[in-house]
């Protein structure tokens, strides 16, 4: 009887501990990044990317970016860009014309043009409906993007 009780307690502790460890830190969404048109960007043939991020997070935008088949051993910069009618854009630190932006993270591709990177950037508390760009640091042209980045920063 004592042995069964001890086994039951150990199993209970194990289950409780693992259930707390397995909880994700946030609800995530994943966006596939698109290539821009030649008229306003610089698409790289066969390239693609994916941005996975927390849809609601405390104080920080948190995510992971995966880029594939860009230029090998090359630098790119990630940018948040406001939308004319989207929310949260005015919280971005750089203003140009009627829009706001933030070039917030430079990253480099490997010898095959690939890159994986965690993202964690502090933002003001607000709902954000903004654009996301991957830009070439040589000429600041957009190589991958999405117009539909929606998330909330909370206390």
CB 96 within 8 A of CB 82: no
CATH for the 24-154 domain, from 3.10.20, 2.30.29, 2.20.25, 2.60.40: 2.60.40
Identify the pLDDT of residue 15: 53
**Using one digit for the tens of pLDDT, what is the confidence trace for 83-103?**
988 899 999 999 988 899 999
**pLDDT per position as a tens digit, 32-72:** 999 999 999 999 999 999 999 999 999 999 999 999 999 99
**Three-state SS at 24:** coil
Closest by CA to 91, choosing from 130, 148, 133, is 130
Q: Which tokens belong to 134? A: 């991957």
Q: What is the pLDDT of residue 85?
A: 85
Residue 147 confidence (pLDDT) above 50: yes
pLDDT band at 11 (very low <50, low <70, confident <90, very high): very low
Block residue for tokens 């610089």: 42
Mean pLDDT value of segment 116-124: 98
Q: Where are the domains of the chain?
A: 24-154
Distance (Å, whole) CA 89 – CA 38? 26
Q: What is the pLDDT of residue 23?
A: 57
Rounded to an integer, the average pLDDT of 95-120 is 96
pLDDT for res 96: 87
């Amino acid at each position: 009887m004592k042995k069964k009780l001890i086994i039951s307690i150990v199993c209970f502790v194990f289950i409780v501990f693992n259930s707390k460890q397995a909880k994700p830190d946030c609800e995530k969404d994943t966006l596939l990044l698109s290539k821009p048109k030649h008229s306003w960007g610089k698409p790289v043939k066969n390239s693609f990317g994916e941005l996975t991020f927390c849809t609601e997070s405390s104080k920080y935008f948190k995510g992971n970016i995966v880029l594939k088949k860009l230029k090998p051993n090359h630098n790119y910069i990630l940018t948040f860009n406001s939308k004319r009618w989207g929310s949260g854009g005015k919280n971005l630190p750089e203003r140009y014309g009627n829009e706001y932006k933030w070039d917030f993270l430079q990253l480099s591709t490997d010898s095959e043009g690939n890159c994986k990177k965690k993202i964690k950037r502090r933002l003001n508390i607000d709902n954000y409906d903004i654009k996301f760009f991957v830009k070439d640091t040589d000429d600041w042209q957009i190589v991958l993007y999405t117009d539909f980045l929606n998330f909330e920063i909370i206390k």
